[in-house]
Amino acid sequence: KQEVTQIPAALSVPEGENLVLNCSFTDSAIYNLQWFRQDPGKGLTSLLLIQSSQREQTSGRLNASLDKSSGRSTLYIAASQPGDSATYLCAVRGQNFVFGPGTRLSVLP
Amino acid sequence: EAQVTQNPRYLITVTGKKLTVTCSQNMNHEYMSWYRQDPGLGLRQIYYSMNVEVTDKGDVPEGYKVSRKEKRNFPLILESPSPNQTSLYFCASRGDSLHEQFFGPGTRLTVL
């Protein structure tokens, strides 16, 4: 059964810092991996989708990488801003869609 | 605008009173699913549907029913709600295995 973990569980950084969020999964037989952002009490906003054949995807200040063989993905956020404060979730698409527990990010002004 | 809609957004009900949460997508997606999100447990899949009249259980299907009579709609039915079904529910859809999944805004359900 696929298990997804995310490290760290919470992170607090000053504005302007570059940061990395980590996602690990146990079964490398995946179609793709998707990163989401969730604001408190709100829905999920899709940030990046990486297909299993890809190594990375970029959107603005966000860069996500995927190493399928080692079961890892990272989300890199450049020049963080207070508006980036949210919970970041990774989810892997294999037989089912399995979410990690999330990383709660606070960017302090 | 491409979107997944859910209704109601907020619902407070009592134990045993049947309820339905509707979900609709306007992207002609074949795949739809329901999740619940609980503190400390994250997002867990309840049911999913690969196409019209094709549904299957996710990780936590007990106490829920679904139907897929039309491609765009995928209602979640709680025949006899119980307090442990108090949660935040999300509906989602996608085109195929390679496409990203889109989520609705969520339905916050409280069962007293």
Q: What is the pLDDT of residues B1-17, one digit of tens each?
A: 889 999 999 999 999 99
When mean pLDDT is compared over A92-106, B32-46, B66-80, the highest value belongs to B66-80
Decide if B19 contacts B81 (C-beta within 8 A): yes
Among A41, A42, A97, the residue with its CB nearest the CB of B101 is A97
Closest in A41, A46, A99 to B100, CB measured: A46
pLDDT tops 80 at residue B97: no
pLDDT tens digit sequence for A41-62: 788 999 999 999 999 999 999 9
Among A89, A68, A65, A76, residue whose Cα is nearest residue B35? A89
What is the average pLDDT value for chain A, to the nearest integer? 94
3-state DSSP call for residue B12? strand
Pick the more confident residue, A16 or B98. A16
Strand locations in B1-112, DSSP E? 4-7, 10-13, 19-25, 31-38, 42-51, 54-57, 65-66, 76-78, 87-94, 102-103, 107-111
Name the percent of chain B lying above pLDDT 70: 99
Residue-wise pLDDT for B8-54, tens only, equals 999 999 999 999 999 999 999 999 999 999 988 889 999 999 999 99
Task: Tell me what pLDDT residue B99 has.
Answer: 81
Residue type, A82: P
* CB within 8 Å of chain B, chain A residues 53-92: 89, 91
| Nearest in space to B16 (alpha carbons), one of B83, B76, B89 | B83
Give contacts of B7 with chain A, Cβ < 8 Å: none
- Type of residue at A17: E
What single-letter DSSP state applies at residue B8? -
Does the pLDDT value for residue B103 go beyond 90? yes
